[in-house]
Amino acid sequence: MRLTESLFTLDKLKPLLDKKDSDSNTIQIETKKKQQTKPIAVLDIGTSKICCMIAIIDLKTNTPVEIIGQAHHASDGIRNGNVIDLKAVEYAVGSVIQTAENMARSRMNGQDLQNIFVNMPALYTKPYHFSVDVQISGQQITERDIDSAINQARHVASPKEESIIHVIPASYSVDRQTGIKVPIGMFGHHMGVDISTITASKPALQNFTTAVTANHLDVFGFCASPYASGLSCLVEDEKNLGCTVIDMGAGTSQIAVFFEGALIYTGAIPVGGQHVTNDIARGLTTSVTDAERLKILYGSTTNIGHGDHDTIDVTAVGEDDSVNTKKVPRSLLTGIIQPRIEETFELIRAKLNDEGLSQVAGRRVVLTGGASQLLGIQDLAKHVLDKQVRLGKPSVIKGLAESTGGPVFATALGMLQYAAEYVDHQATTRPASRIANLHLPDNILRKAASWFKENW
């Protein structure tokens, strides 16, 4: 299904949440008085690294205010964003969560984490967009009518092999009046809701869920990775005017398109920084480790900035002493990197065209993710995509360590923002001493869905 219209974002949901807060829902208000902040945890399972962050969120502003636990280490069991060894992923996930939780423990009042938000690589996501009509019969529109629209959307957009991870009501119309932002309380006969959903493949959800539940935590919800990267890297104007985020990771390049303040698309191609490294290893007959080092130290997509006679030392594969190095022109390294990155952007351009998004995707592209740090990448993206391109760094949250800042952590930091919007007052911790609680993804998604409905 093609996406053609503006959709909904957290920003557009906010007025509705605020409205509900101002209703005479005394129970909720009383709960709010009691609890002003709470810890939440997010997990970004990437091809090259796994990262866990725990932050205190302010329940009044629904924003993360301080990071109290953070850890990351090399990923295991993932190739190009795919799980290839679930046990290895379970172990890596357990270890990174444990480290972050230990760091956060003194700030968690003796509680253990109960659940965690988990990323979903956009290789496994699909967007759907459609309109739902609800009969109002001249009555006042209530939250129930909106629930009913959401439920209809959930049934329409849920193929058997996929589960919904994001339900995004975009815009509303009442009778013939379009462009309504908050329909609750209005009178009419018909309410139309433009709804977008992002679904994810069930096996992908099951694999990540198993990696989490094996470590005695529940999944609170999933967030499409590039959506999160967009939340941490884009400014409001970019989301409103139309902007494409490209999160260039190790095994994937993931895309999120925002238009009129709303997420309208997530997708990905299975090519990332690791492919560049492998090309270098093959092209210069060196080890993958050395190729990675050469890429980070001397890698560039252009020969501008270094002389024709610049050379780099390359150790032949299998040789590990610096005596057995050969001198190679630096331009040879650029000659390996440049075509791969150019091809990556060409694939992204083709994908946006195929999805009918080239116009709505806006004139602006923001590059983030670890592989976006390659020298010269911005100019190459500008040239191939024919758009304005900037490098996106995630906004900094108090307590963020230097080692967990920068584009590598765009997804994790964006997930904190996403989680802060959605977690509201549900329990995220429990008294220390864990009880294993195995949930099938559907249960978790149902739980998240019913939470969504209850809090809307």
Ligand X SMILES: Nc1ncnc2c1ncn2[C@@H]1O[C@H](COP(=O)(O)OP(=O)(O)OP(=O)(O)O)[C@@H](O)[C@H]1O
Chain positions contacting ligand X, by CB under 6 A: 46-49, 75, 81, 121, 249-252, 272-274, 277, 292, 295-296, 299, 369-371, 373-374, 408
The answer to whether residue 81 forms part of the interface with Mg ion (CB under 5 A) is: no
For residue 138, the minimal CB distance to Mg ion (Å) is 50
The answer to whether residue 221 forms part of the interface with Mg ion (CB under 5 A) is: no
Q: Which is nearer to Mg ion, 69 or 249 (CB)?
A: 249
Strand partners, 49: 74
Any residues with CB less than 8 A from the CB of 365 and at least 6 apart, and which?
A: 243, 244, 245, 246, 381, 385, 387, 388, 389, 390
Q: How many residues bind Mg ion (CB under 5 A)?
A: 2
Partner interacting with residue 206 (select from ligand X, Mg ion, none; CB below 5-8 Å by kind): none
The answer to whether residue 249 forms part of the interface with Mg ion (CB under 5 A) is: yes
For residue 290, the minimal CB distance to ligand X (Å) is 13
For residue 413, the minimal CB distance to ligand X (Å) is 12
Q: Which is nearer to ligand X, 54 or 78 (CB)?
A: 78
Q: Which is nearer to ligand X, 292 or 355 (CB)?
A: 292
Any residues with CB less than 8 A from the CB of 77 and at least 6 apart, and which?
A: 83, 84, 85, 86, 87, 88, 89, 91, 92
For residue 216, the minimal CB distance to ligand X (Å) is 24
d(Cα 439, Cα 437) in Å, to the nearest integer?
Answer: 6
For residue 273, the minimal CB distance to ligand X (Å) is 2
Q: Which residues of 190-216 are buried (b: 16+ CB within 10 A; e: fewer)?
A: ebbbbbbbbbbbbebbbbbbbbbbbbb
Q: Which is nearer to ligand X, 188 or 249 (CB)?
A: 249
Instruction: Judge whether 437 and 396 are in contact, CB under 8 Å.
Output: no
Supply the angle between the helices 202-213 and 441-454 in degrees, to the nearest 10.
90
Please state the separation of Cα 270 from the chain's center in Å.
Answer: 16
The helix/strand/coil state of 237 is: helix
Q: Which is nearer to ligand X, 257 or 412 (CB)?
A: 412
d(Cα 143, Cα 146) in Å, to the nearest integer?
Answer: 5
For residue 410, the minimal CB distance to Mg ion (Å) is 8
d(Cα 340, Cα 241) in Å, to the nearest integer?
Answer: 30
The answer to whether residue 370 forms part of the interface with Mg ion (CB under 5 A) is: no
Query: Mask 12-51, x = binds Mg ion (CB under 5 A)?
Result: ----------------------------------x-----
The answer to whether residue 230 forms part of the interface with Mg ion (CB under 5 A) is: no
Instruction: Judge whether 156 and 130 are in contact, CB under 8 Å.
Output: yes
Q: Which is nearer to ligand X, 163 or 277 (CB)?
A: 277
d(Cα 451, Cα 456) in Å, to the nearest integer?
Answer: 8
Element (H, E) at 345: helix 330-354
For residue 269, the minimal CB distance to ligand X (Å) is 10
Q: Which is nearer to ligand X, 170 or 371 (CB)?
A: 371
Instruction: Judge whether 88 and 76 are in contact, CB under 8 Å.
Output: yes
Partner interacting with residue 234 (select from ligand X, Mg ion, none; CB below 5-8 Å by kind): none
For residue 337, the minimal CB distance to ligand X (Å) is 9
Q: Which is nearer to ligand X, 73 or 363 (CB)?
A: 73
Q: Which residues bind Mg ion (CB under 5 A)?
A: 46, 249
